[in-house]
Amino acid sequence: MTQDTPILPASSGAATEAPKPTKKVFVKTYGCQMNVYDSERMGDALSNDGYQAVDSVEAADLVLINTCHIREKAAEKVYSQLGRLAQLKQQRKARGENLMVAVAGCVAQAEGDEIIRRAPVVDVVIGPQTYHRLPVALARARNGERVVETEFPSEDKFDRLPAASAGTIRTRGVSAFLTVQEGCDKFCTFCVVPYTRGAEVSRPVERIVGEAERLAAAGVREVTLLGQNVNAWHGQGSDGREWGLGELVRRLAGIEGLDRIRYTTSHPRDMDDALINAHRDLPELMPYLHLPVQSGSDRILKAMNRRHTAADYLRLVERIRSARPDIALSGDFIVGFPGETDEDFEATMRLIEEVEYAAAFSFKYSIRPGTPGADMDGQVDEAVKSERLARLQALISRQTREFGRKCVGRTVELLLDKPGRNTGQLVGRSPWLQPVIVDAKAGEIGDIVTVRIIETGPNSLFAEPVGPQSGNQGARSFDS
């Protein structure tokens, strides 16, 4: 999923008062949920350094682009955007004004000094593991240095970032992301993550719990635990033991006010019994699981270095559904991986038909320089990839619509999280992550209300309130 909206920086939650804002920053975020989280935390650090958020490039003293390396030609798109910023910087300079430009995220990590070489407009390049150093890097840049910070540091960036204040958290919404794990040790042959995010690192239990408690105290009712390989999380507990994700979820479910827990993205090989049992036992753990498989062909899975077979995946799905029968699954699929034949692709289609997904993300394979897949023989023709992707997406779309139709008539708990497009409407998220539109009289943003699904739409569901809103008992209006 991509984000294409500014992420506004936050005021510090540290004991010392943040300096009065004297500078303005515009943050543009691309890519995954973790990039959204990273932008928020960079915002916290910048706010503590005297920056105030603005919603336009023209008003900013600093433009920060948080980049993603997953999409095809990601680096070239960043350079194109930097070219436009160079024109703006020249215009500002002619007026005697200074505009600073910083590039963060995975493209920054992958390109490093090359960005400085190719784009003179850039003052700071900072990787996803070093963004806690951003204020210091900007100070160096203001002294005329062009700064590249992409080394993987020995210190934990999370320990050095200011906590967001309760007021700032409220401006972000009733749902929040919380990074618990970063990096990946799987080395799938199509993926750049191990090279841009580094090895798997798990945050300690008490750090995660403390952040979750602050979120809940500020009115957040749903938290999504993030990691490139989140179910590989094994964090140190205060008891000295190494915990797994299933145990962490149980601990978080006990936090007062935190009513919903999700996590993403998972790898099938790390879906253990403790986590499956957490889905069975905890009503706070939502019945929605993103479990990428990428292909239904064992030959392609082996070439991808996924280290599981299609049968392994299907057996895992059966175990999960046995533990939580109402769970909805989503997945990731890559079509046209080097060497993929028509037979391999049909195996993927059969797997999709057997699993019956509620949603999925699908992509044409594109070469990522530096990954093993880039050097493989048998690169698939672009037209073939396009035809396969269209067929796969049509199948997924049918399954998504069918899942929505099966929800009609169900009574569900709905977390109201934003106004609807039309006056008098609110939008909430179902347990299965679907947007659901309901009359605004059902409750207030931040309430969890009981509704009955009555209709499906192209991109959302429609619902009506059910009887006395017992779901509101104990719920706090987010705006109160």
pLDDT digits (tens, 9 = 90+) for 169-182: 555 689 999 999 98
**What was the pLDDT predicted at 169?**
58
Average pLDDT on 388-407 reads 97
**Residue 21: pLDDT band with limits 50, 70, 90:** low
Predicted confidence (pLDDT) at residue 160 exceeds the cutoff of 70 = no
**What was the pLDDT predicted at 188?**
95
**What was the pLDDT predicted at 450?**
97
**Residue 276: pLDDT band with limits 50, 70, 90:** very high
**Residue 159: pLDDT band with limits 50, 70, 90:** low
Predicted confidence (pLDDT) at residue 64 exceeds the cutoff of 80 = yes
Share of the chain above pLDDT 70, in %: 88
**What was the pLDDT predicted at 132?**
82
**Residue 37: pLDDT band with limits 50, 70, 90:** confident
Average pLDDT on 246-266 reads 97
Predicted confidence (pLDDT) at residue 40 exceeds the cutoff of 90 = no
d(CA 448, CA 442) in angstroms, rounded, equals 10
**What was the pLDDT predicted at 131?**
82
Q: Which residue has the higher pLDDT, 416 or 6?
A: 416
d(CA 54, CA 384) in angstroms, rounded, equals 44
**What was the pLDDT predicted at 8?**
36
**What was the pLDDT predicted at 71?**
66
**What was the pLDDT predicted at 41?**
83
CA atoms within 13 A on the CB side of 71: 13
Closest CA to 261 of 281, 237, 235: 281
Q: In what order do the strands lie in the sheet with 124-126?
A: 51-53, 23-29, 62-67, 100-105, 124-126, 147-149
pTM beyond 0.95: the answer is no
Average pLDDT on 427-437 reads 97
**What was the pLDDT predicted at 137?**
92
Predicted confidence (pLDDT) at residue 402 exceeds the cutoff of 50 = yes
**Residue 11: pLDDT band with limits 50, 70, 90:** very low
Q: State phi, psi for 303 to the nearest 5 degrees.
A: -65, -30
**What was the pLDDT predicted at 478?**
30
Q: Which residue has the higher pLDDT, 110 or 258?
A: 258
Residue written as tokens 């590989």?
232
Predicted confidence (pLDDT) at residue 472 exceeds the cutoff of 60 = no
DSSP 305-328: T----HHHHHHHHHHHHHH-TT-E
Predicted confidence (pLDDT) at residue 34 exceeds the cutoff of 90 = no
Average pLDDT on 435-441 reads 96
**What was the pLDDT predicted at 20?**
62
∠ Cα 106 33 248 (to 5°)? 110
Predicted confidence (pLDDT) at residue 6 exceeds the cutoff of 50 = no
Predicted confidence (pLDDT) at residue 4 exceeds the cutoff of 50 = no
